Amino acid sequence: MEAFLNQLPIGLSIGAVLLLIALGLTFTFGQMGVINMAHGEFIMAGAYTAYLLQDLTGRMAVIVALPVAFLVAGLMGLILERTAIRHFYGRPLDTLLLTWGVSLVLQQLARDLFGAPNVQVQAPTWLQGGIGPLPYNRLFIFALALATVVGIWAYMNRTGQGRRMQAVMQNRQLAAVSGINTGQVDQRTFFIGSGLAGVAGVALTLIGPVGPALGTYYIVDAFLVVVAGGLGQLRGAVIAAAGLGLLNSYAEFWSDASLAKVIVFAAIVAFLQFRPQGLFVLRSRALT
């Protein structure tokens, strides 16, 4: 019984990890419709940022790296958007191939820069230990995911930039004729989305490997959350991440990790039969 009850907070904490890796994608994929396969490598860039900062800040690297990784990954995203992706808007399959190629290049670049073996990022000592089945580092990720969601919500709904971003997403042509510089909004959206991947990467150093292949382990899960939650829907992403986390936790508890993956995929396929557009659907008057 205790083991069974433990799975509840464990499921929610798995959900927090899923949410954190998917939040960036709700911008680039959800808002802009860009299938960015290199999103995982932006997560990796965040993790390596924490690794590099370690020399300067010691065990505090994980905290200091959060804003730095946001900038590093954000700039990488911005460069990718300006040099390549913007020429492929409206061509999702080409974008997919392009960004997949970019992701391979970035992985090999990491291998050349940092070596093929994993590196270690030391966690702050005050993150050791835990309450019940939840270690402090999981609670930290939980809090970080929560804070990020609140931050994004405030940005989208309480600032002019955020409102313009929503306007472009809902109806690009109308936003453009209303005087919004849609190209600039695209850049900003891509910067923020990629930057959030960097933040997720820093958090993941607490629980997972830090190596060139890091991004590949999380990219599929990130897309799952966004698709199940509904494109561009913050609310949807939060609920989908929590739901998938719990489903994963209990499915693995009753079967095993391999079967749990199958169950989660099957559940998503079944769910999309009933709600092809995910949990929440953006209602817009745009002609698409």
Partner 1 sequence: MRNSVWRSGVAIAALATALTACGGEAPASESASVAGGAGDTIKVGILHSLSGTMAISEVTVRDAELLAIEEINASGGVLGKKLTPVVEDGASDWPTFAEKATKLIRQDKVATTFGGWTSASRKAMLPVFERSKALLWYPVQYEGLESSPYIFYTGATTNQQIIPGLDYLKEQGKKKIFLVGSDYVFPRTANKIIKAYAAANGMEILGEEYTPLGHTEYSTLTNKVVQAKPDAVFNTLNGDSNVAFFKQLNSAGVTAQEMPVLSVSVAEEEVKGIGVDNIAGHPVAWNYYQTTETPANEKFVAAFKAKYGADKVTSDPMEAGYNAVYLWAAAAKKAGTVEVEAVRKAAGGIAVERPEGLVTIDGENQHMYKTARIGVIQPDGLIKEVWNSGEPIKPDPYLKGYPWASGLSNG
Structure tokens at 262: 């199958």
Q: How far is the CB of 209 from partner 1 (least distance, A)?
A: 4
* Residue number with CB closer to partner 1 (240 or 260): 260
Residue among 114 and 155 whose Cβ is closer to partner 1:
114
Q: Which of 52, 78, 84, 122 binds partner 1 (CB under 8 A)?
A: 122
Nearer to partner 1, 71 or 262 (CB): 262
In one letter, which amino acid is 29? F
SS3 labels along the chain:
CHHHHHHHHHHHHHHHHHHHHHHHHHHHHHHCCCCCCCHHHHHHHHHHHHHHHHHHHHHHHHHHHHHHHHHHHHHHHHHHHHHCHHHHCCCHHHHHHHHHHHHHHHHHHHHHHHCCCCECCCCCHHHCCEECCEEHHHHHHHHHHHHHHHHHHHHHHHCHHHHHHHHHHHCHHHHHHCCCCHHHHHHHHHHHHHHHHHHHHHHHCCCCCECCCHHHHHHHHHHHHHHHHCCCCHHHHHHHHHHHHHHHHHHHHHCCHHHHHHHHHHHHHHHHHHCCCCCCCCCCCCCC
Phi, psi of 200, deg, nearest 5: -60, -40
Among 88, 89, 136, 155, binds partner 1 (CB under 8 A): 136
Q: Is 51 in the site for partner 1 (CB under 8 A)?
A: no
Q: Going residue by residue from 74 to 113, which x/- string records binding to partner 1, judged by CB under 8 A?
A: ----------------------------------x--x--
Looking at the Cβ atoms of 8 and 286, the one nearer to partner 1 is: 8
CB-nearer residue toward partner 1: 171 or 216:
216
Position 61 contacts partner 1 (CB under 8 A): no
Q: Taking CB under 8 A as the rule, which mask of x and - marks residues 169-208 in contact with partner 1?
A: -------------------------------------xxx
**Residue number, 3 or 93, with CB nearest to partner 1:** 3
Task: Select the residue interacting with partner 1 from 161, 261, 271, 281 (CB under 8 A).
Answer: 261
Q: How many CB atoms lie within 10 A of CB 68?
A: 19
Q: Which C-beta is closer to partner 1: that of 168 or that of 225?
A: 225
Using CB under 8 A, pick the residue from 58, 92, 113, 120 that binds partner 1. Answer: 120
Least distance from partner 1 to the Cβ atom of residue 257, Å: 4
Chain positions contacting partner 1, by CB under 8 A: 2-3, 6-7, 10, 13-14, 17, 108, 111, 116-122, 127-130, 133, 135-138, 206-213, 216-218, 248-249, 252-253, 256-258, 260-261
